[in-house]
Structure 1
Amino acid sequence: MEMKSRKLHKIIGLTLVLPMLGWTLTGLVFFIKPGYQGAYEQLSVKHHPLSQGLNVTPKQSWQEVRLVNTILGAHLLVKSSHKVEHLDPVSLLDKPAPTNLQFKALLNDAFSDNKARYGDIVHVDGLSAQTSTGVKVTLDWHSLTLSQTGQDTELINLLYQVHYLQWTPFKGINQVLGIFGLLLLISLTVLGVRLYIKPRS
């Protein structure tokens, strides 16, 4: 019986070599967090003081109203129970999406605080842009918010997938792998304790 336990303990241990190595190395990265500040920087549209006073009469359905000014002018951001709207503060009509030139101006204004990370805009596709430093920036026009993803962001996300055994593109299989890995780890611990205690009994 003891020989079987030792053999099983050895097999499980060898099976867990790669996962344990992955857990250890990625856990160390998550603890130290190298490069996290840039990888997950909250890039924001830069707001400027309003150049002129604007009086807006809110509608009854509006739950939240924000009036902001950017390099493109004034924006009225409205949140109701069903949707978020980006309106022209004068006409109260939907504010049209920016042209390529306006989009670039908005991004360059946002990049000005961290030019080293974002560099210059090299390609624009709709409301997404690629920069010379390999960062992809996307604008959500309805909420007037920016999101950015660089090669460092993708690398850290990959480390998270390794750490949590998300080794396939299928969520169901990844869940099975995670549960199986935990069961193997518990079994390894139980067998190890059993082998330690048994000679002393």
Structure 2
Amino acid sequence: MKQEELDIILDNHGKWLRNEGGVRADLRYTELKNTNLIYADLSNANLRGANLRGAELSYADLSGANLDNADLSYADLSGANLRHADLRGVNLDNANLRYTDLRHADLSYADLNDANLRYTDLRGANLNWVKWQHVEGLTVICVQVDTSRRNNQITYIKELEIWITDCFQGTLDELKASVEQTHKDNEKLRKRYYRVIDFILNEVAE
């Protein structure tokens, strides 16, 4: 799809959201051909800051697209291809992300509160500073660490076996190695991190 066509769709969607007429953005498959679905091709599209709240984007190809700070709350992205997409700061509150391919996407600072993440593929995605409250389909445990820094927490995603804190993302062994290296001169702070880690592991085991 050409950028000019996409801009017209976004403009009409904005009018629809403001009750000024317009048309709800529907960027799903475009037609049936030889019984095979031809899905909307939005790969590498520039959607930075776009307001796509409540839009239909299921099965769309958004691989490599720039969705930095876009509003995709309540949007249907089920089955969409978002590999390597720029989703920094994107609003995905209450979005449908079932079976969505988010491999190697940058989701740092994204809002995933109340999103449906059942069967979502998040392998290799950047998940630093994501908001995870009440997500569906993943077991996410976030615990605040008592330090002088604000919003310093450890997040564990059980199904992915990923640990996240500040700009770190990796396995449990990698997290422990990072804690040892970063706080090697502060035994008191190291112990606080380990207490939080042990608490999370105990919660997961129950």
TM-score band, normalised by shorter chain: under 0.3
| Structure 2 length-normalised TM | 0.23
Which protein has the bigger strand share? 1
Relative contact order, CA 8 A, sep 6+: which one is greater? 1
Which protein has the bigger helix share? 1
- Computing the radius of gyration over CA atoms, which structure comes out larger, 1 or 2? 1
| Structure 1 length-normalised TM | 0.24
